[in-house]
A and B are shown apart, each in its own frame.
Chain A
Amino acid sequence: MRNGTRRWLRPLAAGVMLIAALLLAACGGGGGGIEGGDDTGQVSTAMAEGEPSGTLAISNWPFYIDNKTVPDFEKATGISVKYTEDVNDNAEFFGKMQPLLDQGESGGRDIMIVTDWMANKMYDLGYLQDFDQEAVKPAMDNLVPALQSPSFDPNRDFSLPWQSGMTGLVVNTAEAPDIKSANDLFDPKYKGQVEMVSEMRDTVPIVMMADGIRPEDATKQDWLDTIEKLKEASESGQIRRFTGNNYTSDMANGDAIAVIGWSGDAIQLQADNPDIQFVMPAEGCSLWSDNMVIPVGAPNPTAAYAWMNYVYQPKNQAQITDYNYYFSPVEGVKPYLEKINPEAAKSPLIFPTEQYTKNCATQTDPPGSPEDVSEVEQAWQAVVTG
């Protein structure tokens, strides 16, 4: 036994020395590791070249497209599409992509769909490419005027809306008929049956507005106070959990009866349970857009523009709208939608009246310097990750 042990010790020692040698070699290589974004230099333009062909990879959120648009597009253009629903939360998606994007790679993605603030952040870090305006012109021509110059991208240099929508209350009206405001979510009788999305810029303003603070006037302290209120509600068990887009499965299972969530999801959930409704909070909703962007290292921008131009044709867009029930960013969808689904064409979730959204606020960042924003974000993450 003793002899046996010694026989095995020698190779082990040799191994340790080999490892040490390799480590020294690695140190000499100047360390590596994640360096972060101090290289925010030139933004390149993703130029279209020749006829679109090949493969197109798209990363989108769940419940965002009908099941016919992709095959139709493939038939019309001969491009094969790899459509992945791998965006569940902006911050989480960014965390997953950041190390790749920092190396100038997109993991094969040609189009990613992220919310306004995230598109802005990625652009500032140099992770996105400018559009070839010539190539994307047919789509831009059909963009509704209201979305043509958002503050973060006034000339639509690098972003094109996929859909816009409202953050508000998604309620199982059979179980909780009296929920009309975000304040009702804190009612003890709904303890443990309430959820909220883990997106800070969605959840916090809705709760804030219910307390009478308008997000556009809110101070950093207002944000922190609201986050503190949510923290207490989470620790007491009033809020069951914070989730990404997969709160929809908890609604479908009956584990949650009211959530702060997105307008279009309510419609998807109605297919299984007609009692689930989008409820406009009495104090107003939050408005946002999710945008198609082209990341650095996108292998096939030409096909990406073909996709954008395709989905921006009102006829094709109507098919998507009919499924996801969000505001369409495309001009002239209504007549086509009336043809395929007259009911949908009347829905305030797709074509809201001014009266319906009069109290709604456009989604914003917390106020202040990047450090202030980061402080608020950290406080928020402490609540949602425990």
Chain B
Amino acid sequence: MNGESKPLSRRLIPYGLMGPGLLWLVLFFVIPLYFMARLSLESGTLETGFKFTWEWSNFSDGLSTYDEQFIRSFIYAGVATLIALVIAYPLAYAIAFRGGSWKNALLFAVVAPFFVTYLIRTIAWTTILSDDGVVTGVLRTVGILGDDGRLLATPTAVIAGITYNFLPFMVLPIYASLERLDPRLIEAAKDLYSSSRAAFLKVTLPLSAPGIVAGTLLTFIPAAGDYINAIFLGSTNQHMIGNVIQGLYLNVRDYPTAAALSFILMAVIMAAVVVYIRFAGSEALMGEEEEAQ
């Protein structure tokens, strides 16, 4: 409330500071989004030209035709997020509390795959998982896969690919929240006769919740729209909604339906995120700040 007494120039500073970011957001997010929204309500074909006709059926037809791929996308993204969490939490915990002088080296190891582009990493997996490859061979020998079992072009390969590609997005936020955790809080819990397990459940886990929430969002959102893993590690039967949108844009050139599907995807993800944050409690995301004040 003391803002009123400050000179005008001081009050304008926050706006000025937000300017570049806001401009970026408008130019590269809001304006494209507007054109996409417009496109999603057009009708016609490439040959006859597209006309803006408030064609709401693009949405309903798109959803009813491609419901299978929508559901598949959310299942794959959800499973991949869960697996990534199960792998990432112990990893981040170990690095944060047991890493010692190796901390930076271990963190570097987590990020290192990012020095190779996404596409190359995924294509490399096609060689690793190929039918004549070592992985498939071993799994066949130990009987996990049948004699003509394969990994490529199966849901397993696609989910594994997504998990692998987004794992660092899960590890880093969890690590960040664990790293900031004051070890004296755990000592205090133990001084108050808490077992290690209870200390973890009552102190460590709640305090790392912001990292878990951030990590799951950073993994789930891009994973649900991913199409690279399904192209290279899957087949037509594993195609996700991203593949459908890509196909409609590039091969069928049905731009309106593709735009409508993109909006449906955005809306569903947004709804899921809102529900998730409600469920996880908004303090999970804000927890750090509140503590700081």
Chain A residue nearest in CB terms to B232: A246
- Please indicate the chain A residues that have their CB under 8 angstroms from the CB of B235 in the complex: 234, 237, 240-241
Which A29-60 residues have C-beta < 8 A from chain B? Answer: 31-38
User: A22 at the A/B interface (Cβ < 8 Å)?
Assistant: yes
User: A84 at the A/B interface (Cβ < 8 Å)?
Assistant: no
Q: A11-B14, A14-B15, A192-B153 in contact; A19/B26 too (CB < 8 A)?
A: yes
B237 in complex: contacting residue of A3, A95, A235, A374, CB < 8 Å: A235
A378 to B45: give the CA distance in the assembly, Å: 12
Q: Are A253 and B130 in contact (CB under 8 A)?
A: yes
Smallest beta-carbon distance A313→chain B, Å: 36
Interface residues on A, range: 35 or more
A262 to B238: give the CA distance in the assembly, Å: 26
A94 to B31: give the CA distance in the assembly, Å: 25
- Please indicate the chain A residues that have their CB under 8 angstroms from the CB of B42 in the complex: 33
User: B263 at the A/B interface (Cβ < 8 Å)?
Assistant: no
Chain B residue nearest in CB terms to A381: B252
User: A7 at the A/B interface (Cβ < 8 Å)?
Assistant: yes
Q: A32-B35, A36-B44, A95-B251 in contact; A241/B49 too (CB < 8 A)?
A: no
Q: Are B50 and A381 in contact (CB under 8 A)?
A: no
A125 to B246: give the CA distance in the assembly, Å: 22
User: A118 at the A/B interface (Cβ < 8 Å)?
Assistant: no
Q: Are B148 and A98 in contact (CB under 8 A)?
A: no
A22 to B26: give the CA distance in the assembly, Å: 8
- Please indicate the chain B residues that have their CB under 8 angstroms from the CB of A36 in the complex: 44-50
Q: Are A253 and B26 in contact (CB under 8 A)?
A: no
A193 to B253: give the CA distance in the assembly, Å: 30
A31 to B69: give the CA distance in the assembly, Å: 31
- Please indicate the chain A residues that have their CB under 8 angstroms from the CB of B1 in the complex: 3
Q: A95-B253, A98-B253, A254-B131 in contact; A34/B236 too (CB < 8 A)?
A: no
Sample of 30 A–B contacts (CB below 8 Å): A15-B22, A15-B25, A22-B30, A23-B30, A32-B35, A33-B38, A33-B39, A34-B39, A34-B255, A96-B250, A125-B47, A192-B150, A234-B236, A235-B236, A237-B235, A241-B235, A253-B126, A253-B127, A253-B130, A254-B131, A255-B126, A381-B247, A384-B247, A384-B251, A385-B239, A385-B247, A385-B248, A386-B236, A386-B237, A386-B244
Q: What residues of chain B have their CB less than 8 Å away from a CB belonging to chain A?
A: 1, 3, 14-15, 18, 22, 25-26, 30-31, 34-35, 38-39, 42, 44-50, 52, 69, 126-127, 130-133, 148, 150, 152-153, 234-239, 243-244, 246-255, 289-290, 293
